[in-house]
Amino acid sequence: MPTVAFHTLGCKVNQYDTQAMLESFLQNGYTLKEFDEISDVYVINTCTVTGTGDKKSLQMVRRALKQNPAAHIVIAGCLAQRDGEKLLETGARLIIGNAHRADVVALLHDAIEKNTSVSAVEKDLLHVPFEPLKIARFAERTRAAIKIQEGCDRYCTYCIIPYVRGGIRSRKVEDIREEAAILANAGFEELVLTGIHLTSYGRDLNGETLLDAIDACLVEGVKRIRLGSLEPVIVTEEFAKAIAQRKEVCPQFHLALQSGSDTVLRRMRRRYTTEEFFTAASLLRKYMSSCAITTDVICGFPGETEEEFQETLAFTEKVHFARMHVFPYSARTGTPAATMSGQVPKKVREERTRTLIALGQKLAASYHESFIGQEVEVLFEEKGVEGMLSGYTGEYVHCRAEGDMPENALCRVKVTHADENGLKGVILP
């Protein structure tokens, strides 16, 4: 039997796309191998959000060819979409970008039969419909992602994603419901709604909204629904109240901040102010008092002054995020920010990143400590090397506890310890 191995870089959407392609290969008679094993085919699902993503993607292509020089390499994802023809120089057999993933096996076999290398990148993603990928399983034991949306039309000045993912496309509610039922029957108790710009879900459909997509996932067997990244503009009083009424929705909301300075936000072309962001966080806490507000922050955006960075520090502390994903600005060729004046030196960007990461760890520890003595609901996923069960609360706080893996992985835990890394507790009967 032919063999295939996968390596995925980047976001949860990429993980979903990989799973869909993997299942296509399995249905066509392939056996799955680990990426560090010898395989007939290697599929690298790439990321191009940062220069690091580009570098790692190309490293994995070279690694695959070193392991088996005769292997057929498939390059998919955002870097493939961006540099399709150029990537043929790597020796890859097939480049497919962010379309035609459902046809990956047929495209590969055709290229092999013709003994040629092919770039099947769809250049016009603005007018393609939502690609009907389907999955029936997921790499994680208890949690699975459902991709409900593709594309973005925000065109923030630093971001390459609209150029490589195309325009807004939403998945039909009936298709979401069907896949949710399949995954629930496979034993997944938590479903994560993913997309490139979830806030835009339904804009291209007939009146359907993100709440409709959530309701479509409320099938028998699903105990948790977790939302991917949102923008604060979606959080109205009505939205926060409606979410709170859906008890299956996890009380963790990832609101992408990017900067705590209004002047930087304007240069980024983000469509909200810090005041609007704070109002959104406050509305969520009004209806779910202990919910986790998590975020992304970019340090050293072009023109960022020390004063603007201090504004970000103060604002993130004011919001009191439960977790922050902090990273230095990385210029992306083809975006307006790449040619802006006032590019911040790398040393300064990295220093500000370290400072904000330290604050984020302090805020995380403070948030975690608020759970000491409380009961939390944990979805256990695995038993670690120390014999401790490991899983996550609804707030997406990592929790460990002693005991055997329960048949029903969702358990009540009494929290006894907390630090910046998460919680430790005792499973309740």
User: How much is the pLDDT for 285?
Assistant: 98
User: How much is the pLDDT for 386?
Assistant: 77
Tokens coding 387: 């014999």
Q: What is the DSSP letter of 31?
A: E
Q: What is the DSSP letter of 428?
A: -
* pLDDT of 406 higher than 90: no
Amino acid, res. 19: Q
User: How much is the pLDDT for 387?
Assistant: 79
Neighbours of 153 (CB within 10 A): 13
| CATH of the domain spanning 143-369 | 3.80.30.20
User: How much is the pLDDT for 402?
Assistant: 87
Mean pLDDT along residues 96-101? 95
Integer Cα distance of 145 and 212 in angstroms: 17
User: How much is the pLDDT for 139?
Assistant: 78
Task: Name residue 184's beta-bridge partners.
Answer: none
Higher pLDDT, 287 or 123: 287
| CATH of the domain spanning 3-119 | 3.40.50.12160
Integer Cα distance of 390 and 376 in angstroms: 14
User: In the sheet that 323-328 helps form, which strands lie side by side, from edge to edge?
Assistant: 252-254, 292-299, 323-328
In this prediction, what percent of the chain has a pLDDT beyond 70?
99
Q: Kindly provide the b/e burial profile for residues 24-46, where b requires at least 16 CB atoms within 10 angstroms of the residue's own CB.
A: bbeeeebeebebeeebbbbbbbb
- Strand segments (E) across 159-291: 169-170, 190-195, 224-227, 252-254
Q: Using one digit for the tens of pLDDT, what is the confidence trace for 252-275?
A: 999 999 999 999 999 999 999 999
Q: What is the DSSP letter of 55?
A: H
User: How much is the pLDDT for 408?
Assistant: 65
Residues of the chain with CATH 3.40.50.12160: 3-119
* CATH pick for 375-427 out of 1.10.3470, 2.120.10, 2.40.50, 1.10.287: 2.40.50
Name, in order, each residue with C-beta under 8 angstroms of 32's C-beta and a sequence gap of 6 or more: 3, 4, 5, 6, 22, 25, 26
Q: Using one digit for the tens of pLDDT, what is the confidence trace for 154-198?
A: 999 999 999 999 999 999 999 999 999 999 999 999 999 999 999
User: How much is the pLDDT for 68?
Assistant: 97
* pLDDT of 288 higher than 70: yes
Q: Using one digit for the tens of pLDDT, what is the confidence trace for 354-380?
A: 999 999 999 999 999 999 999 999 999
Q: Using one digit for the tens of pLDDT, what is the confidence trace for 204-232?
A: 998 899 999 999 999 999 999 999 999 99
Residues of the chain with CATH 3.80.30.20: 143-369
pLDDT bucket at 141, cuts 50 / 70 / 90: confident
Residues of the chain with CATH 2.40.50: 375-427
Mean pLDDT of the chain: 95
- SS3 per-residue string spanning 280-316: HHHHHHHHCCCCEEEEEEEECCCCCCHHHHHHHHHHH
pLDDT bucket at 384, cuts 50 / 70 / 90: confident
Supply angle C-alpha 317, 372, 312, rounded to 5: 10
Higher pLDDT, 388 or 198: 198
pTM (predicted TM-score): 0.94
**191 touches 180 (CB < 8 A):** yes
**320 touches 363 (CB < 8 A):** yes
User: How much is the pLDDT for 407?
Assistant: 64
Q: Using one digit for the tens of pLDDT, what is the confidence trace for 39-72?
A: 999 999 999 998 899 999 999 999 999 999 999 9
Integer Cα distance of 80 and 101 in angstroms: 12
User: How much is the pLDDT for 284?
Assistant: 98
Give the residue ranges of DSSP H helices in 186-245. Answer: 210-216, 237-245
Q: Using one digit for the tens of pLDDT, what is the confidence trace for 390-405?
A: 999 999 999 999 887 7
Q: What is the DSSP letter of 408?
A: S
User: How much is the pLDDT for 137?
Assistant: 87
* pLDDT of 121 higher than 90: yes
* pLDDT of 415 higher than 80: yes
DSSP helix/strand/coil, 41:
strand
Mean pLDDT along residues 69-89? 96
* pLDDT of 128 higher than 90: no
